[in-house]
């Protein structure tokens, strides 16, 4: 299974794995699964840290690549097709980070690992929690 981690899922997997559902934690750690993290997540973490909404994020931002390796995750590039799909989503959700992650998961055929109810409710996106 190919998994794309939502930003909070990435954070929790690194810093607070007990906050993950059992299903999400098992899927992320199962070696048969491929785990991906988007540059959208790196941007969201860095941006929220700069705004003061993620005060403990400095270490994660500084060690982003090492954190990917720790999770045996790969970075998925953000492409024009992802961005175009995000802009065309027929979805009232305004959060650009969520829209890009949803579009990436849809275009690539990944399951988005998220606790976000808005993403679970958006049926074109396969989610796991």
Query: For every one of its 129 residues, what pLDDT tens digit does the chain have, with 9 covering 90 and above?
Result: 999 999 999 999 999 999 999 999 999 999 999 999 999 999 999 999 999 988 878 888 899 999 999 999 999 999 999 999 999 888 887 788 999 999 999 999 999 999 999 998 888 899 999
CB 75 within 8 A of CB 18: no
The predicted structure's pLDDT at residue 91? 81
Domains and CATH numbers, the chain: 2-128 (3.40.50.1010)
Q: What pLDDT, on a 0 to 100 scale, did the predictor assign at position 95?
A: 84
**107 class by beta-carbon count within 10 Å (0-12 exposed, 13-18 middle, 19+ buried):** middle
Burial zone of 39 (CB within 10 Å; 0-12 exposed, 13-18 middle, 19+ buried): middle
């Amino acid at each position: 299974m190919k998994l794309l981690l939502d930003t909070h899922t990435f954070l929790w997997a690194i810093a607070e794995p007990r906050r993950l559902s059992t299903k999400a934690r098992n899927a992320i750690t199962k070696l048969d699964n491929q785990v991906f993290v988007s540059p959208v997540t790196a941007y969201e973490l860095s941006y929220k840290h700069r705004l003061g909404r993620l005060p403990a994020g400095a270490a994660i931002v500084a060690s982003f690549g090492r954190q990917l390796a720790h999770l045996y995750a790969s970075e998925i590039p953000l492409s024009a097709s992802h961005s175009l799909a995000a802009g065309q989503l027929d979805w009232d959700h305004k959060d650009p980070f969520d829209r890009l992650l949803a579009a990436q998961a849809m275009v690539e055929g990944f399951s988005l690992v998220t606790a976000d109810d808005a993403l679970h409710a958006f049926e074109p996106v396969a989610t796991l929690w």
